[in-house]
């Protein structure tokens, strides 16, 4: 094939300009496709490319380079489905129009048309290009005579293989597309021809069909039995593809982990005949699998493993004959595929002995000197994620398999001579072995992995301490320390020497401070706490030379806390004199800040005052002064919040500005959405003044809540604030009682604001929706008259209303339950004399000093006449509304 | 099992970008599937420029490794495989397979057919091993028989076309790229029934089988009480079977003499059709004893057309072939060195070449050398701070030779002198290189009787043994 570098050829057949232009255009495009598409030539690139493919002036190699571009960047050339469809149509036209002599363009044209359709999302029953391409591919693939237009016989084999690949890609992108051709494919597999592409396509289509049918709860419906060939322009069976459309199928499923796919396949009901056919098809594929290249064999095994997993009545023993052959190879893909089968079928395919053998081969491969390092590392990964028949540990966590003893791992111990990646991988294994060996060691057994581990870590530290060594060495040392601290967090016997070794490393090489800070930020307290202590000692006990000062300060800013205050402050005082440049001063102030947060008091105030005077840089002085003021004025918890991570995005120039934003955010009251919801609860008519019962619904946890109320139009006396120490969502709350002191008896609205502290210490302010106080909420009963004197008491009140007050009559409609219900529900506490069910005398006290008397007598079915008197004429309209409201409420 | 994109990047330290993308290929149909499978966790394959930058940074191959960078140097950023996550434009592209060999970085991004969050274990992603195989294949193609840059360039220019054959849609069809090169040439041959895909055509001509056994020994001798010396033989058996017929059956056996060292850790070529369980289980993991399987090692197979590595093995020979002693004493600016070497009497005393390399690290240039050798001659490479002791074709009758001398160094200048992370202070090493023709340390051999061919015609069998040695 003349596809390679054919520039010389091109010059013979065409004018150089066009070829040169394309070469340059393609070069620019490849350098940055997005920049090219945004430029002036971008828009028309796709169109020009298609038209120039038919140009007689351009040579074949140039056209091939154009097609190569379309194979890689169809989304840029033809960004939507209609454009992709048009491009595919144009490519197919170009293919058909090629003269019947040998041409290197047919193959890339087929690939390009397939790519355009699949990548552009145009593949489907309504696409004309799809209807042309699919039968064409199937015809080419099956080796049927397609007429002279498809070039000389010499090209047929290449095109045949290409067509199979195109079909496989289309099936991958649109599962079920070839579901209707399963029978045909099976038939072809038995005949001569390219075994590999056919096997892979059949396996893929079979797997997809099984999944789709399982989802539709249908059987295989004779799909495995041969059918008719689809013809060009004729109908294509899109049924399965349309069903499978919404669910792109993983070709290689992720690890079984009992995901849903398994359950889905289990629902597939196959008739005994179908099951037999399926078994035969799989056996046929497996028997011919040795004819495939190793990578293709692996693909076939993944696909078939997935197809049969969880399928009832399909024992995986079909795979058994392949396994021994596969276990002996050095081929990464094959061993990986065996592991996939192991994961898929577990004990059903691998006995305990098989599992041990597989583990042995894997261990061997992970350390085999003849294999490339990346492969060995991957095998090691597989070892730590080995799909055991009966795993003990939690799923998804790396662990040494049960059968992998320290004997097997002897060859996998890490050494300083290893490449960093290999060292870390092997170190992880070693750590896992140390965990297992913990018990044995306690019994005092020989030659422990732990001792080996300690020596290795010491070696790593020694290298990290080298002057002028590459940073990678330091990084490796800290990564190893982190790994050990994480895996062996519960083993002080490992962590103690590690802590001291790291302290020594710091002593030797303070420039590693950023690594130490990073390590402290990431390890748990088991290593973090003791390490912090020894590092602090290390810093404050030896002031060090000047170049180390900035590292010491950086270190101290991380490790300084309330302990060993005087030593720390002493160190800082001594250091202050040597902090001559801005950077050092800032580093010094960072330590002060850390101490402030830790709540260090007295001595620090003196230091800050001294710094505020003595530092050369004004920014530094301001900073010191600010810290001093904060220290002097804020309580400890508030100080912690104020100096905590800044809420405002840190700004650049002056760190003071950035920090001030942080303070402002932390010290000021913030506006926030309401953390609680308030509502007025049931009316309690007792006591000297009306009291609102407020129901609280807690949305967020708040502390020191203060609710402030403001009465609209000042109808009531100003209300006191209500304080609640703490509210938690989900915890029951008692209603809040809010006594009202009306200045006149009228409904009103209360504006409510909440001030509170969040769990993070910020003070917030929120406005709550206003609360409505109804007229009825102000009702209070009169004191109970002595028994027998009720009527007299009422009549006395009745009479006393006039002449100052007023009398009125109104009709109060009644609901289906009648007067009795109305009274018992709303007016019960105020009844003085009752003659159920028709007559009630009611006396209501309206603070501050009004009264309302009601006579409900001679009730009828649909209503009751109400005679009322009050000594405050202003309440009359309110009474009317209120009574009508009560009757509506029932 | 498909790949979303492949790159070849040459590492060029000292240039502004520290590297150039020499080849890249994207697979848009796979990318489309990635978008669906990965869902919200989908991160698109970046353009070459940003990819190059992010990859070199992650692999520590860009020059800006001076300052601590959290995204690369953090202690929790641990890579235990050649698979990386690259931070590009605020998003993390994962998994990226990448490794460097001979100054060339091979990289690809396999398709993960599920969501990437939480990250599935690598073992569950079929595209990982397929990606490795693709990159190994490309590497094998670029460096098979390649001698210089212009040959490399020629091969790079063939690559787009080859990948169009072997990986047209991102799913690898054959990791042996040269096979595809052959199949392009064999295109006119019609396919008989049951032709293996890994065999591009059939052989016509005189039947012939050649077998070559090469053994290397890697040995480290510390001469210290608390560190055990190690020596391990690594063998590879290469075959070329020129036999007629589409699928001739061949059995090749390897044998050991009675006192030979058993072969262990045997890994075979996929064309081997079955394996004896004794071969499958013979492993260096077990302590060697007399019960170890000592052959003959039979390999029934259907050979491919091209030359192939029938098997790899390791072996534990009882003693190292050459016992070395190396002592360094520091005396101010001088180093006093003493070397003794002793060839074991069982080893064939006839070398193609034999030399000892004595490098000095973390010091200034060599300014002066005074030495005495009992045998051979010493060459001094001052600028490289290296001494080479050329021993020649034979050890003397005593089988023992020695070298002693003093080496003086100039002032240390950081840039030019070699740096080494192991050779600090008094720690130093010498490396012994030699090759013995027609000899194996294990005794492993193949002869006329080792090959059984179940096909017409009696083939000519040729065998050869080669023994390479590297002692540290």
DSSP assigned state of A741: -
Question: What pLDDT score does A652 carry?
Answer: 39
Which residues from chain B sit within 8 angstroms of residue A417, using beta carbons? 422
Does B439 score more than 60 pLDDT?
yes
Which residues from chain A sit within 8 angstroms of residue B78, using beta carbons? 424, 479, 482-483
Does B366 score more than 90 pLDDT?
no
Question: What pLDDT score does B68 carry?
Answer: 87
Does A112 score more than 70 pLDDT?
yes
- In this complex, do B191 and A192 lie within 8 Å of one another by their Cβ atoms? yes
- Give the one of B65, B124, B270 whose C-beta lies nearest to A471's C-beta: B65
- In this complex, do B175 and A293 lie within 8 Å of one another by their Cβ atoms? yes
- In this complex, do A293 and B275 lie within 8 Å of one another by their Cβ atoms? no
- Give the one of B1, B114, B285 whose C-beta lies nearest to A364's C-beta: B285
B298 and B312 in contact (C-beta within 8 Å)? no
Which range is most confident: A63-77, A429-443, B221-235?
A: A63-77
Question: What pLDDT score does B300 carry?
Answer: 93
Strands B386-390 and B353-359: antiparallel
Does A770 score more than 80 pLDDT?
yes
Which residues from chain B sit within 8 angstroms of residue A425, using beta carbons? 80-81
Place of tokens 């100039």: B410
Is A511 at the interface with chain B, CB within 8 A? no
Q: Give the angle subtended at the CA of A808 by the CAs of A805 and A810, to the nearest 5°.
A: 155
Give, in order, the Cα–Cα distances in Å from A397 to each of A384, A489, B214: 9, 16, 41
Question: What pLDDT score does A667 carry?
Answer: 65
CA A863 to centroid of chain Cα atoms: 64
- Work out the pLDDT band at A147, boundaries 50, 70, 90: low
A521 and A555 in contact (C-beta within 8 Å)? no
Question: What pLDDT score does A250 carry?
Answer: 66
Residue bearing the bigger pLDDT, A26 or A10: A26
Is A253 at the interface with chain B, CB within 8 A? yes
pLDDT, average across residues A739-755: 89
Q: Report the share of chain A in percent with pLDDT over 70.
A: 87
Closest CA to B211 of B468, B15, B466: B466
A461 and A477 in contact (C-beta within 8 Å)? yes
Strands A831-835 and A839-846: antiparallel
- Give the one of B158, B176, B421 whose C-beta lies nearest to A473's C-beta: B421
- Work out the pLDDT band at B311, boundaries 50, 70, 90: very high
pLDDT, average across residues A368-388: 93
Is A254 at the interface with chain B, CB within 8 A? yes
- In this complex, do B267 and A365 lie within 8 Å of one another by their Cβ atoms? yes
Closest CA to A152 of B187, B78, B20, B296: B187
Question: What pLDDT score does A882 carry?
Answer: 84
Strand partners, A868: A808, A854
- What rounded mean pLDDT belongs to chain A? 83
- Work out the pLDDT band at A203, boundaries 50, 70, 90: very high
What distance in Å separates the CA atoms of residue A757 and residue A667, rounded to the nearest whole number?
11
Which tokens go with A809?
A: 């009559």
pLDDT, average across residues B317-327: 89
Each residue's pLDDT tens digit, B28-79? 999 999 999 998 899 999 999 999 999 999 998 987 767 888 888 999 999 9
What distance in Å separates the CA atoms of residue B157 and residue B148, rounded to the nearest whole number?
15
The alpha carbon of residue A390 is apart from the nearest alpha carbon of chain B, in Å, by: 18
Contacts of A64 by beta carbon, 8 Å cutoff, 6+ apart: A3, A6, A104, A105, A108
- In this complex, do B272 and A472 lie within 8 Å of one another by their Cβ atoms? no
- Give the one of B60, B195, B234 whose C-beta lies nearest to A370's C-beta: B234
- In this complex, do B193 and A192 lie within 8 Å of one another by their Cβ atoms? yes
Each residue's pLDDT tens digit, A641-692? 666 654 443 333 445 555 655 666 666 777 888 889 998 888 878 888 899 8
Strand order in B451-454's β-sheet? B297-301, B249-254, B451-454
Is A169 at the interface with chain B, CB within 8 A? yes
Each residue's pLDDT tens digit, A507-548? 999 999 999 999 999 999 999 999 999 999 989 887 656 678
Burial of B124 (0-12, 13-18, 19+ CB in 10 A): buried
A182 and A207 in contact (C-beta within 8 Å)? no
- In this complex, do B66 and A250 lie within 8 Å of one another by their Cβ atoms? no
The alpha carbon of residue B314 is apart from the nearest alpha carbon of chain A, in Å, by: 8
Is A365 at the interface with chain B, CB within 8 A? yes
CA A22 to centroid of chain Cα atoms: 45
The alpha carbon of residue B460 is apart from the nearest alpha carbon of chain A, in Å, by: 27
Nearest-Cα residue of chain B relative to residue A477: B75
The alpha carbon of residue A632 is apart from the nearest alpha carbon of chain B, in Å, by: 36
Which residues from chain A sit within 8 angstroms of residue B270, using beta carbons? 294, 297, 329, 331, 334
Place of tokens 């597939």: A268
- In this complex, do A299 and B130 lie within 8 Å of one another by their Cβ atoms? yes
Of A1-10, A371-380, A797-806, B116-125, the one with minimum mean pLDDT is A1-10
- Work out the pLDDT band at B448, boundaries 50, 70, 90: confident
Closest CA to A495 of A534, A459, A526: A526
Is A392 at the interface with chain B, CB within 8 A? no
- Give the one of A380, A424, A474 whose C-beta lies nearest to B79's C-beta: A424
Question: What pLDDT score does A232 carry?
Answer: 55
Which residues from chain A sit within 8 angstroms of residue B285, using beta carbons? 360, 363-364, 407-408, 410-411
A100 and A65 in contact (C-beta within 8 Å)? no
Size of interface A-B (CB pairs under 8 A): 333
Burial of B337 (0-12, 13-18, 19+ CB in 10 A): buried
Residue bearing the bigger pLDDT, A157 or A13: A157
Question: What pLDDT score does B179 carry?
Answer: 74
- Work out the pLDDT band at A259, boundaries 50, 70, 90: very low
Which residues from chain A sit within 8 angstroms of residue B263, using beta carbons? none
Contacts of A505 by beta carbon, 8 Å cutoff, 6+ apart: A461, A464, A465, A477, A512
DSSP assigned state of A304: H
pLDDT, average across residues A421-445: 78
What does the H/E/C string look like for B332-393?
CCEEEEEEEEEECCCCCCCCCEEEEEEECCCCCCEEEEEEEECCCEEEEECCCCEEEEECCC
- Work out the pLDDT band at B20, boundaries 50, 70, 90: very high
Q: What is the DSSP string of B92-150?
A: EEEEEEEEEETTEEEEEEE--SS--SSPPPGGG-HHHHHHHHHHHHHHHHHHSS--SHH
B429 and B423 in contact (C-beta within 8 Å)? yes
Distance linking the first and last C-alpha atoms of chain B: 41
- What rounded mean pLDDT belongs to chain B? 87
pLDDT, average across residues A569-583: 86
Widest CA span in chain A: 129
- In this complex, do A33 and B196 lie within 8 Å of one another by their Cβ atoms? no
- Work out the pLDDT band at A584, boundaries 50, 70, 90: confident
- Work out the pLDDT band at B472, boundaries 50, 70, 90: very low
Is A118 at the interface with chain B, CB within 8 A? yes
Q: Where would I find the beta strands (DSSP E) of A672-727? A: 676-680, 691-698, 702-711, 722-727
Is A337 at the interface with chain B, CB within 8 A? yes
Nearest-Cα residue of chain A relative to residue B300: A325
HSE-up (13 A, CA, CB side) for residue B112: 26
Does A865 score more than 90 pLDDT?
no
Each residue's pLDDT tens digit, A437-465? 765 655 555 457 888 899 999 999 998 99
Question: What pLDDT score does B182 carry?
Answer: 61
- In this complex, do A378 and B81 lie within 8 Å of one another by their Cβ atoms? yes
Does A133 score more than 90 pLDDT?
yes
Of A250-254, A467-471, B447-451, the one with minimum mean pLDDT is A250-254
- Work out the pLDDT band at B465, boundaries 50, 70, 90: low
Residue bearing the bigger pLDDT, B7 or A652: B7
Question: What pLDDT score does A438 carry?
Answer: 65
pLDDT, average across residues A278-300: 92
Does B6 score more than 90 pLDDT?
yes
Question: What pLDDT score does A648 carry?
Answer: 41
- In this complex, do B80 and A377 lie within 8 Å of one another by their Cβ atoms? yes
Closest CA to B32 of A248, A49, A252: A248
Does A346 score more than 50 pLDDT?
yes
């Amino acid at each position: 094939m003349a596809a390679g570098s054919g520039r010389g050829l091109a010059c013979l057949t065409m004018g150089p300009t066009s070829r040169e232009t394309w070469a340059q255009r393609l070069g620019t495009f490849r350098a940055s496709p997005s920049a090219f598409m945004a430029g002036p030539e971008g828009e028309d690139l796709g169109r020009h490319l298609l038209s120039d493919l038919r140009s007689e002036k351009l040579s074949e190699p140039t056209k091939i380079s154009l097609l190569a571009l379309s194979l890689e960047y169809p989304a840029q050339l033809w960004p939507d489905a209609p454009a992709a469809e048009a491009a595919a149509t144009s490519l197919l036209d170009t293919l058909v129009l090629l003269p019947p002599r040998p041409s290197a363009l047919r193959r890339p044209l087929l690939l390009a048309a397939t790519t355009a359709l699949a990548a552009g999302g145009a593949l489907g029953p309504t696409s004309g290009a799809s209807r042309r391409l699919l039968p064409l591919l199937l015809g080419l693939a099956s080796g049927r005579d397609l007429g002279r237009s498809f070039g000389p016989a010499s090209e047929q084999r290449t095109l045949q293989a290409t067509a199979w690949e195109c079909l496989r890609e289309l099936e991958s992108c649109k599962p079920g597309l070839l579901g209707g051709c399963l029978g045909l494919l099976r038939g072809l597999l038995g005949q001569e021809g390219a075994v590999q592409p056919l096997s892979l396509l059949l396996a893929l289509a079979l797997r997809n069909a099984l999944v789709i049918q399982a989802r539709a709860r249908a059987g295989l419906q004779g799909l495995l039995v041969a059918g008719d060939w689809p013809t060009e322009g004729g109908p294509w069976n899109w049924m399965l593809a349309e069903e499978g459309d919404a669910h792109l199928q993983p070709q290689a499923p992720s690890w079984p982990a009992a995901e849903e796919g398994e359950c889905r396949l289990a629902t597939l009901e196959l008739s005994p005949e179908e099951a037999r056919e399926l078994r035969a098809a799989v056996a046929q594929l497996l028997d011919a699998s040795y004819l495939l290249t190793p990578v293709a064999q692996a693909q076939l095994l993944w696909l078939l493993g997935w197809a049969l997993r969880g399928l009832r009545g399909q024992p995986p023993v079909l795979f058994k004959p392949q396994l021994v052959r596969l276990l002996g190879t050095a081929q990464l893909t094959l061993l990986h595929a065996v592991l996939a089968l192991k994961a898929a079928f577990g004990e059903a395919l691998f006995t305990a002995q098989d599992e041990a053998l597989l583990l042995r081969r894997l261990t061997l491969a992970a350390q085999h000197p003849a294999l490339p390092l990346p492969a060995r590392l991957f095998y090691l990964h597989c070892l730590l994620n080995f799909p055991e028949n009966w795993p003990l540990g939690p799923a998804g966590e790396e662990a040494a398999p049960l059968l992998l003893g320290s004997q097997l791992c002897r060859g996998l111990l890490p050494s300083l001579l290893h490449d960093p990646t290999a060292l870390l991988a092997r170190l992880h294994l070693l750590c896992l072995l140390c965990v297992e060996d913990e018990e044995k060691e306690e019994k005092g057994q020989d030659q422990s992995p732990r001792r080996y581990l300690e020596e290795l870590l010491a070696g790593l530290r020694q290298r990290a301490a080298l002057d002028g060594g590459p940073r990678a060495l330091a990084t490796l040392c800290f990564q190893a320390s982190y790994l050990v601290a994480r895996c062996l967090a519960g083993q002080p016997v490992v962590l103690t020497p590690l802590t001291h070794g790291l302290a020594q490393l710091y002593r030797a090489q303070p420039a590693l401070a950023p690594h130490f800070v990073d390590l402290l930020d990431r390890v748990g307290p088991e290593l973090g706490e003791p390490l912090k202590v020894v590092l602090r000692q290390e810093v404050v006990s030896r002031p060090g030379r000047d170049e180390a000062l900035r590292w010491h300060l950086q270190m101290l800013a991380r490790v300084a806390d309330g302990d060993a205050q005087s030593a720390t402050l002493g160190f800082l005082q001594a250091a202050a004199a040597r902090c001559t440049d801005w950077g050092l001063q800032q580093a010094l102030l960072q330590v002060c800040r850390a101490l402030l947060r830790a709540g260090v008091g007295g001595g620090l105030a003196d230091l800050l005052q001294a710094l505020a005077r003595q530092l050369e840089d004004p920014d530094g002085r301001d900073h010191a002064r600010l810290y001093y003021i904060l220290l002097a004025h804020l309580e400890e918890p508030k100080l912690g919040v104020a100096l905590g991570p800044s809420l405002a995005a840190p700004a650049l120039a002056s760190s003071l500005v950035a920090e001030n934003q942080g303070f402002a955010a932390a010290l000021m009251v913030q506006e926030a959405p309401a953390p609680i919801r308030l509502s007025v609860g049931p009316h309690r008519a007792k006591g000297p003044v009306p009291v609102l019962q407020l129901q609280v619904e807690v949305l967020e946890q708040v502390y020191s809540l203060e609710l402030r109320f403001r009465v609209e139009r000042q109808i009531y006396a100003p209300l006191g604030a209500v304080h609640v120490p703490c509210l938690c969502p989900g915890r029951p709350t008692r209603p809040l009682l809010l006594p009202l002191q009306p200045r006149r008896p009228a409904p009103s609205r209360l504006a409510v604001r909440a001030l509170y502290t969040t769990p993070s210490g910020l003070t917030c302010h929120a406005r709550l929706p206003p609360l409505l106080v109804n007229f009825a909420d102000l009702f209070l009963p009169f004191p109970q008259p002595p028994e027998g004197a009720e009527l007299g008491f009422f009549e006395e009140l009745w009479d006393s209303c006039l002449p100052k007050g007023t009398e009125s009559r109104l009709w109060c409609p009644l609901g289906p339950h009648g007067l009795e219900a109305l009274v018992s529900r709303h007016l019960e506490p105020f009844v003085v004399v009752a003659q159920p069910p028709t007559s009630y005398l009611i006396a209501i006290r309206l603070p501050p000093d009004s009264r309302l008397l009601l006579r409900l007598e001679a009730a009828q079915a649909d209503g009751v006449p109400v005679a009322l008197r009050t000594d405050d004429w202003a309440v009359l309209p309110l009474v009317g509304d209120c009574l009508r409201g009560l009757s509506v409420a029932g | 099992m498909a790949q979303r994109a492949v790159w070849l990047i040459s590492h060029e330290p000292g240039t502004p970008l520290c590297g150039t993308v020499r080849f890249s290929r994207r697979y848009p149909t796979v990318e489309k599937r990635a978008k669906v499978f990965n869902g919200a966790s989908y991160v698109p394959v970046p353009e070459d420029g940003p990819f190059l930058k992010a990859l070199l940074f992650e692999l520590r191959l860009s020059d800006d490794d001076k300052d601590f960078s959290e995204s690369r140097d953090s202690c929790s950023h641990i890579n235990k495989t050649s698979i990386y996550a690259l931070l590009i434009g605020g998003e993390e592209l994962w998994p990226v397979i990448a490794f460097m060999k001979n100054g060339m970085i091979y990289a690809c991004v396999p398709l993960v057919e599920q969501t990437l969050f939480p990250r599935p274990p690598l073992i569950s992603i079929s595209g990982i091993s397929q990606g490795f195989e693709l990159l190994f294949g490309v590497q094998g193609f670029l460096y098979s028989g390649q001698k210089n840059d212009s040959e490399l360039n020629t091969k790079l220019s063939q690559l787009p076309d080859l990948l169009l054959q072997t990986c047209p849609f991102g799913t690898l069809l054959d990791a042996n790229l040269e096979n595809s090169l052959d199949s392009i040439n064999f295109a006119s041959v019609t396919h008989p029934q049951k032709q293996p895909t890994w065999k591009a055509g059939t052989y016509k001509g005189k039947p012939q089988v050649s077998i070559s056994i090469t053994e290397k020994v890697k040995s480290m001798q510390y001469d210290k009480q608390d560190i055990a010396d190690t020596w391990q033989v690594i063998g590879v058996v290469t075959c070329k079977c020129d036999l007629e017929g589409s699928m001739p059956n061949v059995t090749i056996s390897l044998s050991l003499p009675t006192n030979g060292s058993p072969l262990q850790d045997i890994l075979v070529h996929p064309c081997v059709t079955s394996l004896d369980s004794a071969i499958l289980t013979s492993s260096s993991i077990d302590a060697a004893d007399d019960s170890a399987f000592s052959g003959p090692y039979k390999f029934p197979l259907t050979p491919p057309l091209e030359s192939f590595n029938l098997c790899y093995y390791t072996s534990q020979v009882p003693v190292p072939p050459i016992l070395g002693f190396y002592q360094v004493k520091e005396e101010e600016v001088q180093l006093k060195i003493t070397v003794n070497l002793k060839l074991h009497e069982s080893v064939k005393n006839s070398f193609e070449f034999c030399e000892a390399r004595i490098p000095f690290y973390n010091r200034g240039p060599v300014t002066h050398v005074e030495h005495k050798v009992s045998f051979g001659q010493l060459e001094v490479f001052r600028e490289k701070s290296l001494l080479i002791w050329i021993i020649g074709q034979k050890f003397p009758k005593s089988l023992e030779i020695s070298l002693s001398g003093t080496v003086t160094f100039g002032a240390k200048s950081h840039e030019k002198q070699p740096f080494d992370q192991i050779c600090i202070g008094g720690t130093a090493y010498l490396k012994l290189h030699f090759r013995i023709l027609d000899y194996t340390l294990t005794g492993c051999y193949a002869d006329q009787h080792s090959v059984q061919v179940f096909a017409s015609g009696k083939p000519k069998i040729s065998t050869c043994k080669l023994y390479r040695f590297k002692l540290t």
